C-alpha cells in the first residue's frame, strides 16, 4: 500500500468502456484520494484520450497498454472491461493490491466477496489491505437494492421479475447501433441488427446474453444467483425474464415479490423511504412513477414507484424499479467499494 492511504495509486482497466469512463468521473466527482491514475486498455485503444469531466483541469487521460503495465506500482485496480482482461490479470494484481472487478469473471466464486453498496457493505469487512472484490450485474444491483429493506421487514420468499435493459449494457457499440438503426429506419432504410442479432430500434428483444439448453439466458441465471448472494437468502425463488429495450441508459424492472410475513403497502413505503440508496416516487408527486428517460439521468439512486398490493396473492407486493445501469449500478458501486475499503484500512 502507499504510505498515505488517502492518496492511492489507481489503475482503471477497460478505461475506454462506458463503465471505465464513468468510474474515472465518479472518482473525480467524489474527490477520491488519488496519487496517480492510470487509464489502461488493450492494444487497439492505446493512446486514446479518456474523457473526464469537461470542466475539470487535466480531465483527459491517455490510455496505456494493459499487457505492458506494471501492476506492482498500484494500490487499487478497477477492472471495467471484458471478462477476458479480468481473467488474465485480476488475480495476480489482487495478491498485492485491491482489485474491484465489474466483469462477470469472478461473480460466481464463493470465495470472492460480491458487493453492492446499499445492500451488503459489511461483506468487505474481512478483505484487509489487498484482495479481489466482485461487483454484481447492474440489474442485480437494482433489484437487490429495492428488495433489501423489504426483505428485512417481511422476509422475501419469491420474486418474479422482468428486466427491461438499456442498450448501454451491451457497450458503446450497441448504443451506436441503436442510434444508427433509428436514423436508418426513420429514413426508410433497413436496420442491420448486428449488436443483438436483430433490430433493436423500435423493437423489444426477450433475450439478454446467450441462452442455455433449458432456454434460460445467462443474464437470468446471474440475476437469480447474485440476488440470493447479496440478500443472504440462498433459498430465495427468483423467476426472471431479461429483456433488451431501445433505451440508451437506465434499466427498468417490473417486480412481483412474495413475503414470509404479512406486509402492508404503508409499511413497505415506510421502509423503502428509509432504505439506503433508494428514492421512492410517490403516486401523488408530479413524476408519478420513475422512467429511464427522466430519473435515470439523475443517477444517484435506485428509484421505486407503482408500489401496490398484489391482488392475486396474500403477503405480496408489485412495484417498478428504474436505475442508471452504468453510473449508479456500476461506477457508483465500484467507487463505493473502494471508499469502503479505504475507510476500513484507516
Mark residue 257 as left, alpha or beta (left: phi above 0; alpha: psi -120 to 50; beta: remaining).
Answer: beta
**What CATH code would you report for 139-325?**
3.30.360.10
**pLDDT per residue as tens digits for the range 277-321:** 999 998 887 778 999 998 877 768 999 999 999 999 999 999 999
Mean pLDDT of 255-273: 97
pTM of the model: 0.94
List 258's β-bridge partners, or say none: 158, 316
**pLDDT per residue as tens digits for the range 221-254:** 999 999 999 999 999 999 999 999 999 999 999 9
CA 63, CA 39: separation in Å to the nearest integer? 5
**pLDDT per residue as tens digits for the range 40-95:** 998 887 867 886 654 444 568 889 999 999 999 999 999 998 999 999 999 999 99
CA 255, CA 240: separation in Å to the nearest integer? 9
**pLDDT per residue as tens digits for the range 8-51:** 999 999 999 999 999 999 999 999 999 999 999 988 878 678 86
CA 248, CA 148: separation in Å to the nearest integer? 27
From-to residues of CATH 3.30.360.10 in the chain: 139-325
From-to residues of CATH 3.40.50.720 in the chain: 8-136+330-345
DSSP string across 226-284 = HHHHHHT-TT-EEEEEEEE-S-SS-EEEEEEEEESS---HHHHHHHHHTSTTEEE--TT
Strands in 98-101's sheet, in edge-to-edge order, are: 64-65, 34-41, 8-13, 76-79, 98-101, 131-134
Residue 38 DSSP SS3: strand
**What CATH code would you report for 8-136+330-345?**
3.40.50.720
Maximal C-alpha separation, the chain:
62
The sign of the torsion formed by the CA atoms of 153, 159, 162, 168 equals positive
Return the closest-CA partner of residue 20 out of 29, 28, 12: 12
CA 302, CA 325: separation in Å to the nearest integer? 10
Q: 2 pLDDT exceeds 50? A: no
Beta strands in the chain (DSSP E): 8-13, 34-41, 49-50, 61-62, 64-65, 76-79, 98-101, 131-134, 156-165, 237-244, 251-259, 278-280, 302-309, 316-323
Amino acid at each position: 500500500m502507499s504510505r498515505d492511504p488517502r492518496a492511492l495509486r489507481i489503475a482503471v482497466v477497460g478505461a475506454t468502456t462506458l463503465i471505465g469512463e464513468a468510474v474515472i468521473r465518479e472518482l473525480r466527482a467524489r474527490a477520491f484520494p488519488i496519487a496517480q491514475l492510470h487509464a489502461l486498455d488493450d492494444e487497439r485503444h492505446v493512446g486514446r484520450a479518456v474523457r473526464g469531466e469537461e470542466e475539470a483541469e487535466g480531465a483527459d487521460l491517455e490510455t496505456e497498454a494493459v499487457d505492458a503495465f506494471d501492476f506492482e506500482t498500484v494500490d487499487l485496480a478497477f477492472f471495467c472491461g471484458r471478462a477476458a482482461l479480468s481473467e488474465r490479470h485480476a488475480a495476480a494484481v489482487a495478491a498485492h493490491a485491491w482489485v474491484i472487478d465489474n466483469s462477470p469473471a469472478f461473480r460466481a466464486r464463493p470465495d470472492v466477496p460480491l458487493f453492492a453498496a446499499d445492500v451488503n457493505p459489511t461483506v468487505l469487512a474481512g478483505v484487509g489491505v489487498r484482495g479481489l472484490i466482485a461487483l454484481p450485474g447492474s440489474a442485480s444491483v437494482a433489484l437487490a437494492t429495492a428488495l433489501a429493506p423489504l426483505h428485512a421487514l417481511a422476509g422475501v420468499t419469491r420474486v418474479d421479475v422482468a428486466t427491461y435493459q438499456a442498450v448501454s449494457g451491451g457497450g458503446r457499440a450497441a448504443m451506436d447501433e441503436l442510434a444508427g438503426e433509428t436514423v436508418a429506419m426513420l429514413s426508410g432504410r433497413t436496420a442491420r441488427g448486428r449488436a443483438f442479432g436483430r433490430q433493436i430500434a423500435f423493437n423489444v428483444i426477450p433475450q439478454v446474453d446467450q441462452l442455455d439448453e433449458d432456454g434460460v439466458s445467462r443474464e437470468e441465471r446471474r440475476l437469480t444467483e447474485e440476488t440470493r448472494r447479496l440478500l443472504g437468502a440462498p433459498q430465495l425463488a427468483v423467476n426472471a425474464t431479461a429483456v433488451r429495450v431501445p433505451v440508451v441508459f437506465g434499466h427498468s424492472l417490473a417486480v412481483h415479490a412474495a413475503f414470509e410475513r404479512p406486509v402492508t403497502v404503508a409499511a413497505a413505503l415506510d421502509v423503502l423511504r428509509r432504505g439506503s440508496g433508494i428514492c421512492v416516487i410517490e403516486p401523488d408527486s408530479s413524476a408519478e412513477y420513475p422512467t429511464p428517460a427522466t430519473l435515470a439521468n439523475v443517477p444517484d439512486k435506485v428509484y421505486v414507484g407503482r408500489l401496490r398490493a398484489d391482488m392475486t396473492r396474500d403477503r405480496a407486493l408489485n412495484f417498478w424499479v428504474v436505475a442508471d445501469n452504468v453510473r449508479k449500478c456500476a461506477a457508483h458501486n465500484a467507487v463505493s467499494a473502494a471508499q469502503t475499503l479505504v475507510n476500513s484500512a484507516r
